[in-house]
Amino acid sequence: MKKSLSELAARITPEWTLFLDRDGVINRLLVNDYVKRPDALEILPGVPETIARLNRLFKYIIVVTNQQGVGKGLMTAADLEEVHNHLRQQVERAGGRLTAIYACTRRSDEPGNCRKPAPHLALRARRDYPDIDFSKSIMVGDQDTDIEFGARLGMVTIWVSDRPGAFTGAHFPDYIIRALRELDALSV
């Protein structure tokens, strides 16, 4: 049975937090590559405007992203910060605001690291914003690890995919959408 976003909208109150993955949700996912420069960040259609509308619903909108390109030496932390500053500027031009961006820059083959689905990025966010309640949070992502990350923390999970029947993760998402702008349904 497919759940309706209108059911979720009825539950959201002003203290809720929205966690967003970056690549594949906010911007186009580069297959076998990393967004290393601001001009390589191709923001998906309608995303800045959607974030601006979602700012009216959520206390915090926080990006949590695995960015192992830094750990692999393919880009620097400064390069990543330039990309994120560009992203913030694009959202601000549309009248929106990202509360924070947390990135794990370690390689996936490093043991015990901060990469999703490990909870480290969300725990860092809650350390910086102590009133975050994971039971009043939504995680939106396009990878199984994003959904597992949210589910482990007790968040509502939303999978972004144009292949809804293809989910193979251990924790099935609560909702499935094709693009972030479908979350405009929450503000109706």
d(CA 126, CA 3): 28
How far from 68 is each of 73, 88, 134, 168, CA to CA, in Å? 9, 20, 25, 23
Residue pair 144/22 in contact by the 8 Å Cβ criterion: no
Active-site residue identified among 21, 79, 142, 146: 21
Q: Assess whether 109 carries a catalytic annotation.
A: no
d(CA 144, CA 98): 23
Q: Assess whether 23 carries a catalytic annotation.
A: yes
CA-nearest of 63, 64, 62, 72 to 36 is: 72
d(CA 151, CA 135): 10
Active site residues: 21, 23
